[in-house]
Amino acid sequence: MSQVTIDSNEVDIVIAAFHSDLTSFLEEWRPMFSRFHLIIVQDPDLKEDLKIPKGFNVDIYTKSDIEKLFTSSGVSKFSGYACRFFGYLVSKRKYIISLDDDCSPAKDTNGDLVDIVTQHITNLKTPATPLFFNTLYDPYRKGADFVRGYPFSLRSGVPCVLSCGLWLNLADYDAPTQALKPDLRNSRYVDAVMTIPKYSLMPMSGINIAFDREIVGPAILPALKLTKEGKFRWETMEDIWCGLVVKVVCDHLQLGVKTGIPYVWRNERGSAIDSLKKEWEGVKLVEELVPFFQTLKLSSDAVTAEACVTEIAAAIKKGSHSVLDGAADNIVEWVKIRKEFESRVLG
């Protein structure tokens, strides 16, 4: 691994808390997290008080904290999996690492614990190569380089702003796959990082990611927090949508996205059938979303992530996606919220 300098003051670790007792979870992560600032956001639907062991630099945000900023009507924006987005909002640091409380440290092929902080920040602090694929994957990694035929004019790469880690044990399969293959587990640790090519979309999971908040933060947004006549809660679609948005933004701004290591161990959680009830409308919606994002063109005037997502909202409004009208409104609202929050709270 290329050696990078990690300043603890540059990093926030955002943890979405869906269980009240985080003692075991945090003790497992103590070797990696103890010198960094933690932002723990409790799911507003979780009624019990959180149990946090001592010895961490941590800020905890609960339903009452969200209500202070958004009133009770705004709490639903950050319920369920969307609670992590509140952590992104209150962070003041350059880099955010996002993790759910059902993840444990993974072990590499040598049996050593995977340091997700070091690897994620290394991914973000070394260039990405979305314009031309290097068949030895990340050429900036120790022991690797560009292969024969790789244009020298492209070897400086572009800034990497999003690092998407992976999972051992319970991989990020959708509910239909889990229901059809209930015993399917991921046991393959592939010690590699690759840049996702320009114009290739991807499904993103918010469970194990890191991003540059200052550059691409406005595009990491909970716009697809949808409810359809109170029957469907498409909570598992939020980060899928977010991945489509942020990849289009990165492609337009000549920024990079990496995937691969670091891994986490994803523990067993929930019922595939219950998840299917929540996901099914979202599964169908993806088939409509992908062509929309594949053909989406942003203007040369969009030179920031904020300007890009504003144009995406406008493009949605011009289209025939009635279901996405709410997402367009949410994008506009999120941009406004970030501006107001940063001026009012962060100064």
Q: Which 8-state DSSP code applies to residue 128?
A: B
- Residue 153: what pLDDT? 97
What is residue 346's predicted lDDT score, i.e. its pLDDT? 58
Between the two ends of the chain, the Cα-to-Cα distance in Å is 37
pLDDT at 327: 83
* 262: preceding bond cis by omega (within 30 degrees): yes
Nearest Cα to 79, choosing from 127, 38, 47?
Answer: 47
Q: What is the mean pLDDT of each run of 10 residues along the chain (347 residues)?
A: 81 96 97 97 93 96 88 71 91 96 95 96 97 95 94 97 96 82 91 96 93 96 58 62 95 98 88 70 79 94 97 88 77 86 68
Give Cα 199 to chain centroid, integer Å.
19
Q: Domain map of the chain by residue range?
A: 7-101, 102-346
Residue type, position 71, single letter: T
pLDDT score for 180? 85
Q: Are 234 and 327 in contact (CB under 8 A)?
A: no
Measured CA to CA, the distance from residue 145 to residue 126 in angstroms comes to 13
Count of Cβ atoms closer than 10 Å to residue 195 Cβ: 27
Q: What is the mean pLDDT of the chain?
A: 89
Instruction: Let me know: does 324 contact 228? Beta carbons within 8 Å.
Output: no
Look at the pTM and tell me if it is higher than 0.85: yes
pLDDT digits (tens, 9 = 90+) for 229-255: 344 445 567 888 899 999 999 999 999
The answer to whether the beta carbons of residues 106 and 263 sit under 8 Å apart is: yes
Model pLDDT, residue 259: 97
Short-list 228, 252, 199, CA closest to 327: 228
pLDDT at 322: 67
